Amino acid sequence: MHAWQRTGFFGGHVALDFANTVDDEGKTRDRDALPDWPAALAWALKAEVIGPAEADALRADPHADTALGDLVAFREAAWRLLSAVAGDAGPDPLDARAVSAVIVWAHGLAALEIDSRLACWRVALNRAGPDVIRARLALTLAALLASPELARVRECGRCTGLYLDHGRGKGRRWCRMSSCGNRAKAERYRARG
């Protein structure tokens, strides 16, 4: 079973952390952190998209392979859309339509819950089955897309990691200083030497 590392959560928003479930060192998106259903469940549990009882219920779902394929396809369309936003480029219309379709589908499964004067859309496991992870992530992405925080989405200068930049001035250039930032500094040092 894949053990998702907590250090993988650097985006500042669960929708960005979801888009970041692919790792690379050169804009290649070549190391998938969700290669199988157990890994997807482990990530969703760590990200608090599902709870422990829901993870147990989903472990042996017969539709897991289809749900995983749909989840990964949604992740890639969401990443391309958010990467375009981060680069101040217009998103590809196909990606915008794909993301929009999943968000509309998720809203069709959701129920409005009001608790302590806060309202939110919730998708119950019994309504979505193994697609509950994708549905909940779609609703969080919809909230980010409608939020002023969207203007703070940035893409790392070395990898494809997306994050919210809350810095002043020029702001962050790297997803994490401990990985991409240190590598960039080492490369600059070697180039000067």
Summarize pLDDT for 26-74 with one digit per residue, the tens: 788 888 999 999 999 999 999 999 999 999 999 999 999 999 999 999 9
State the DSSP H helix or E strand holding residue 55, giving kind and residue range, or none if neither.
helix 52-58
* Beta-bridge partners for 30: none
Delimit the domains of the chain by residue range. 6-150
Q: How far is CA 96 from the centre of its chain?
A: 16
* Residue 149 in this model has a pLDDT that exceeds 50: yes
Tell me which DSSP letter residue 167 carries.
-
pTM of the model: 0.89
Q: Write phi, then psi, for 137 (nearest 5 degrees).
A: -65, -35
Summarize pLDDT for 19-28 with one digit per residue, the tens: 999 988 778 8
Taking alpha carbons only, the member of 73, 75, 51 closest to residue 125 is 51
Q: What is the architecture of the domain spanning 6-150?
A: Orthogonal Bundle (1.10)
Cα gap 160→154, rounded to integer Å: 10
Summarize pLDDT for 68-98 with one digit per residue, the tens: 999 999 999 999 999 999 999 999 999 999 9
Listing DSSP states for 56-121 in one string gives HHHTT-TTHHHHHHHHHHHHHHHHHHHHHHHTT-PPPHHHHHHHHHHHHHHHHH-EEEEETTEEEE
* Residue 193: pLDDT band with limits 50, 70, 90: low
